[in-house]
Amino acid sequence: MTRAVLSIGSNIGDTIGHLQSVLTAAGSAVRAVSSVYETAPWGGVQQDPFHNAVLIVDDPARDAWRWLEFAHSCEDRARRTREVRWGPRTLDVDIVAVYDGPASVTSADPTLTLPHPRAHQRAFVLVPWAEIEPAARLPQGPVAELVGALDLADPEQRVVRRSDIHLEVRGGA
């Protein structure tokens, strides 16, 4: 079994539709999905807030590289462009962590660094992940403890759970 933690985000166009498209594409591989959170943009680029969520997916036919292909195919279908680093986007699908059975997969490849090198700093990843997998860990420590170490009063770390928005697991593509 290869299980992955995916962070999904969007702040251009039909943001919820873009997030939903990832769940639809993943289909029966989806094991858990967090609430949707409205979050501050990360990285210093002026732009609209994001809608973010975290998914736990598993598929024995996918290794870390195939999860990366999946992420890129979802972004391509949403017509994602990469003009400005950390800039606005229709869809961002980041692979936060991959597990082969109970073991965490590591990679220092610049194309696919695992676990994600900045996940431990990002409230928009940690808060939704802790919601659906409270015992999760990163090399820096338990996700729940990493959330506790964040300054959520900092405007750049702002995360607001959107109880009015729900993503649905639908059939695969």
Say what the pTM is: 0.90
Tell me how far the alpha carbon of residue 19 is from its chain's centroid. Answer: 10
- Into which CATH architecture does domain 2-161 fall? 2-Layer Sandwich (3.30)
**72-100 pLDDT per residue, tens:** 999 988 886 667 666 688 899 999 999 98
Split at pLDDT 50, 70, 90, the class of 44 is low
CA dihedral 62, 65, 70, 74 (to 10 degrees): 160
**53-66 pLDDT per residue, tens:** 999 999 999 999 99
Question: From CA 152, how far away is CA 159, in angstroms rounded?
Answer: 7
